[in-house]
Amino acid sequence: MSALEEYTILIGDQRFTLLRDQIMRDAPNYFTAFFNGPFKETSEGVREMKLYRDPYLFKFVHLYLSGYDILPLPKDIPCPFSEESRLKCLLLDARFYGLDSLAEELEALVPRSGNSKDGKMEKESWQVLFVSMFTFDMAFSC
């Protein structure tokens, strides 16, 4: 597999391109599972996926996968979310995409009440949730 393999991610009406090196950052994750995992898309050579997530937030995910430090989030950019909401939504997306390192960075900024003593949901619970969301998203992405 070439390090220059390109993958197209369609989020809403926006197109993002990721290289293999980018999807391998913070692996395993949603992208490595889809493009390199044991799914029929891998054997069929699929290089494009469409997701129904927020394209504004995915810009930060794209920057993160490109190796940039995205935190703290800039305060002077136009956004429909408050700063706290942006962090919470980005944390949800980091979990959705299975980006554990990014999620951990965000969890340090966004305290959550959950089912563990420190306010973080147990990792095993998020792994089950990730697999469930992946399966659900794949079932409806025709």
Which residues of the chain fall short of a pLDDT of 50? 1, 3, 116, 119, 126, 128, 140-142
Indicate if the alpha-carbon torsion angle 107, 140, 38, 67 is positive or negative: negative
* The pLDDT value given to residue 86: 86
- Residue pair 87/73 in contact (Cβ under 8 Å)? The answer is yes
* The pLDDT value given to residue 37: 87
* DSSP per residue, the chain: --TT-EEEEEETTEEEEEEHHHHTTT-SSHHHHHHHSSSHHHHTT--EEEE-S-HHHHHHHHHHHTT----SPPSSS--SS-HHHHHHHHHHHHHHTT-HHHHHHHHHHS----SSTTSPPPHHHHHHHHHHHHHHHHHT--
* The pLDDT value given to residue 133: 53
Quote the pTM value. Answer: 0.74
| Tokens of residue 41, six digits | 């898309």
The CATH superfamily assigned to 6-139 is Potassium Channel Kv1.1; Chain A (3.30.710.10)
* The pLDDT value given to residue 119: 47
| Tokens of residue 15, six digits | 């197109």
